[in-house]
Amino acid sequence: MSSPPVRASDGDRDRALDELRDRAAEGRLSMDTFIGRVDMVLRAQSRREIDELVADLPQRGRLRRRITEAVAAVSDLSNRIESAWRRPRLPRLALPADDRLRYLVGRGPTCDLVLTDLTVSRVHAELRREEDSWLLVDLGSMNGTRLNGWRLVGPARVRTGDEIAFGDCAFLVSVPA
């Protein structure tokens, strides 16, 4: 009695699609063959069907694979460096050094830090001192307050080097001079 075929998983499909894509990029598969096999991989019911679709592909040599992986790693590194270089230089926001426990941020004239940008609410957020650290609290602003790219849903601890954004106004937190 034979066992039933093993059902194809998403991982099996992804591996086969990666293999087909790599062989097409190397010029070892025509575009028509590539498209046809991709369609068959996506329709395959069992792992055996998927294995048959990539079984006749020539294996890459170890040297070629390592060179390809090295080039991909260098390319990824250069992309990350380029995106960091192009990132806008943010103005510094020095945490207050006096004894007050609460600093309001917003467009309103009663705020301690007044920002004139229209994406900032009249009373947008507050910096609250607790012991030796600062908490950032959104005060129900329309466009939100973000800490390191994440929108606040409750109080969050602020540290030197964090990125704070009130609406579209972003700052880099620094210690007072």
Per-residue pLDDT at 161 exceeds 90: no
pLDDT at 89: 80
Give the three-state DSSP class for 35.
helix
Q: Which secondary-structure segment (H or E) carries 81?
A: helix 62-86
Per-residue pLDDT at 57 exceeds 90: no
Contact present, 119 and 129 (Cβ < 8 Å): no
Contact present, 164 and 146 (Cβ < 8 Å): yes
Alpha-carbon torsion, ordered 143, 149, 151, 155, to 10 deg: -120
Q: What is the mean pLDDT of the chain?
A: 88
For residue 169, the 8-state DSSP code is E
pLDDT at 174: 87
Rounded CA separation 167/121 (Å): 8
Strand partners, 163: 172
For residue 119, the 8-state DSSP code is T
Kindly report, residue by residue over 75-121, the tens digit of the pLDDT: 888 888 887 776 678 888 988 888 889 999 999 999 999 999 999 99
Per-residue pLDDT at 1 exceeds 80: no
